[in-house]
């Protein structure tokens, strides 16, 4: 894929641009960006990554891949704007939460379309992505899509309907962890620890725990029990989480995000 156009220039677009350039997957001169109205944002990305600002919509016909990265509420207008200029051979990759493939087909025609939900850890090559394809994606094109996404983390193919759950889990997941870090820093401050000390300790704790899970040797509940000595400090903390309905809060968090993804699919 020689030329790639990002339609939309928000955080996810920047994460992918940064990750692909950093991992030397796509040279910056092959990446083009456009959005509806925020030219200052385009200039910032141009200055940061040396990508091209699309100045003439007619040039869209030369693109090999178009990445839809607008806000979900803006996608219909965006597709209406670019549809007259898209070549029949141009493939599409959507990173839009909730927007189904059939909506994209209605907006810009049936063509090879992949719908993916990465996360912003793509910036450092550690995204966790779920992907689904339409019937027009052949085996060769599927390999190209997967190679692009594997270059910035892991990618798992799922049925399109399951992307709502992927969105709620790994797509939104980084925000949940950052929110947890904010809470740890706040309680650490009550004990007189600086934010820097708490962050260093807990980032390493998260990384170490993730590595233990990634080894795949033991299930999470087994690892948890190994840390939780009877009558010890961890047990006291776990009891507090249970008393405050921690599991229920996690369920509500993910189910609310999944439900919102479905609402977006229905244009709500």
Q: What one-character DSSP code corresponds to residue 80?
A: H
Sort 222 into a burial class: Cβ within 10 Å, 0-12 / 13-18 / 19+.
Answer: exposed
Total-model pTM:
0.87
CA atoms of 128 and 133, how far apart (whole Å):
17
Please tell me the predicted confidence (pLDDT) of residue 1.
58
**How high is the pLDDT of residue 265?**
83
- CA angle 192/194/200 to nearest 5° reads 130
Q: What is the rounded CA–CA span in Å between residue 213 and residue 211?
A: 5
Tens place of pLDDT for every residue, the chain, 268 residues?
589 999 999 988 999 999 899 888 899 999 999 998 888 999 999 999 999 999 888 899 999 999 999 998 899 999 999 999 999 889 999 999 889 999 999 999 999 999 999 999 988 989 999 999 999 999 999 998 999 899 899 999 999 999 999 999 999 999 999 999 999 999 999 999 999 999 999 999 999 999 999 998 899 999 999 999 999 999 999 999 999 999 999 999 999 999 999 998 887 6
Distant-in-sequence, close-in-space partners of 251: CB < 8 Å, separation ≥ 6: none
> In the numeric block, which tokens belong to residue 189?
């401050």
How many of the other CB atoms lie within 10 Å of CB of 208?
10
pLDDT at residue 264 in the model: 86
Q: What is the pLDDT of residue 233?
A: 96
| Count of positions (residues) in the chain | 268
Contacts of 83 (CB under 8 A, 6+ apart): 107, 108, 109
pLDDT for the residue numbered 268:
64
Q: 197 phi and psi, to 5 degrees?
A: -65, -45
The predicted pLDDT at position 47 comes to: 96
Of 63, 38, 255, the residue nearest 167 (C-alpha): 255
């Amino acid at each position: 894929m020689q030329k790639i156009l990002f339609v939309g220039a928000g955080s996810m677009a920047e994460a992918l641009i940064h990750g692909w350039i950093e991992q030397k997957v796509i040279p910056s001169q092959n990446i083009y960006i456009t959005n509806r109205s925020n030219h200052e944002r385009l200039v910032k990305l141009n200055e940061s990554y040396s990508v091209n600002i699309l100045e003439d919509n007619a040039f869209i016909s030369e693109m090999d891949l178009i990445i839809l990265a607008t806000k979900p509420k803006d996608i219909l207008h965006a597709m209406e704007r670019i549809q007259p200029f898209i070549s029949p051979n141009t493939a599409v990759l959507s990173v839009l939460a909730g927007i189904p493939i059939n909506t994209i087909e209605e907006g810009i025609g049936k063509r090879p379309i992949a719908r993916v939900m990465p996360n912003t850890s793509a910036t450092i090559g550690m995204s966790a992505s779920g992907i689904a394809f339409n019937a027009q994606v052949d085996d060769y094109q599927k390999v190209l899509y997967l190679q692009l996404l594997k270059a910035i983390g892991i990618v798992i193919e799922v049925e399109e309907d399951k992307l709502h759950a992927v969105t709620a889990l790994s797509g939104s997941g980084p925000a949940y962890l950052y929110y947890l870090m904010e809470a740890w820093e706040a309680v650490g401050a009550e004990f007189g620890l600086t934010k820097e000390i708490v962050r260093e300790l807990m980032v390493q704790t998260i990384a170490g725990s993730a590595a233990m899970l990634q080894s795949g040797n033991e299930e999470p509940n087994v690892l948890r029990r190994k840390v939780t000595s009877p009558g010890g400090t961890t047990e006291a903390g776990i009891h507090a989480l249970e008393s405050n309905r921690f599991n229920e809060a996690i369920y509500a968090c993910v189910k609310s995000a999944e439900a919102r993804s479905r609402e977006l699919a229905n244009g709500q």
